A and B are shown apart, each in its own frame.
Chain A
Amino acid sequence: MTDIPNAITAADGVNPDVVATADTVDEHAHGLIAHQFDDAEQQHDSAELGMWTFLATEVLFFGGLFLGYSLYRFKYPLAFAAGSHGLYEMVGMANTFVLLGSSFTMALAVWSAKIDNKKRLFFFLLATLILGGIFVGIKGWEWTTDYKEHLVPGTYFGFNFPAHVVEAKPVDRQYYEELAKGDSNISAHVQLFMLFYFLMTGLHATHMVVGMVLLAMVAIKAARARTSLKDATFVEMLGLYWHFVDIVWIFLFPFLYLIRA
């Protein structure tokens, strides 16, 4: 339990690492601690709690989409399985692989920030940024392919696949025809699945891009060796956000790609 100063502080109301008064005044004077906080510990705990509160709102934000998805999947199981077959499972798996790797490098970046190793911090932030870029790049390629295969809901939605798709995926076409026997309006319901797919992956990708912008900002600071105590907390909070986005994908991947009738 020695490595849990926060828990001890919260539980006992006693700060085990009491900073000398003179130092505290200095930290305030140098702007390391905002004036409303007593010490670094309190400032850190406050940031942590604020971040968890924000993530709670994010869970409910994505939760609404997961709820809508689940209801319609419950209502139109065949169409959702058919829609899932139209996606590339291996691409989704590759993206999960990349994103879990980026969470790993992000955890190392947070650790580097805590031990104040700016070179390592820069390296791991850059690695996370690159892996995030690969994820968004793969996603973009996937969306482009979906568009070309007429999988975007609307007038040109091609559930009666165009010739080139039939050639590319003869097995899937047979599979769809099988399924269509159990759902009279399957085309509309597959479009519903695709709508959830684009909304959920789109919202997720937006979160990725926001995270990447923040990563780049701290990485530049770290490269100039200008990170401080405040930035260590910032990297830690950014880490929480990044891992949260990873967790959203951990659920999106099986929900969208791994449905089998």
Chain B
Amino acid sequence: MIPPKTKHNEQESSHTSDAFVHAHHPVGGYVLVWAVLMVLLIATVGAAHFHTGEPWSFLIALIIAVVKAILVALFFMHLKDASRVAWVFCGCTFVWLGIMLALTFQDYVTRPQVGNIPDSQNQAIVRVEHSIDRQ
């Protein structure tokens, strides 16, 4: 016997809900995560007003932002319940991002030190840079 289409849809949906929805009511957890995010928001604005000076002010803001992002990813984006392959893909994202940031910064951050090396070598570097510029 084939049930009517609408009824069938409902049955399928409820079957899916059983499989994916947490056993407990998730709303309480969402409220808690939201409240923590609000506290962190106030904390990051508050921390900016204490003149902690570089690099601390930047690091504090960055750490709070990372914690907020992890909370959103784990609970709102359900990463904690996601398949392992989703974890791998999510992790890879930040590996690639890390490569891009780290390799670029190791160049720019060390550039001022080029001025401290002996003149002969320094001029060789300058010549190389000029030839790169011409290209």
Contacts and interface: CB of A to CB of B under 8 A. Distances in A.
A115 interface: yes
A91 B129 CA distance: 44
A45 interface: yes
Q: Is the interface of B mostly helix, strand, loop or mixed?
A: helix
Interface string B44-86: 1100110100100110011011001100110111100111111
A110 B27 CA distance: 11
Contacts of A71: 104-105, 108
Given A48-B82, A100-B37, A229-B13, A107 B23 contact: no
Interface in A43-87: 44-45, 48-49, 52-53, 55-56, 59-60, 63-64, 66-67, 70-71, 74-75, 77
Contact of B76 (A45, A103, A253, A254): A103
Nearest to A68: B104
A11 B88 CA distance: 13
A254 B109 contact: no
Interface of A: 2-7, 9-11, 17, 19, 26-27, 30, 32, 40-41, 44-45, 48-49, 52-53, 55-56, 59-60, 63-64, 66-67, 70-71, 74-75, 77, 89, 93, 96-97, 100-101, 103-104, 106-108, 110-111, 114-116, 228-229, 232, 239-240, 243-244, 246-247, 250-251, 253-255, 258-261
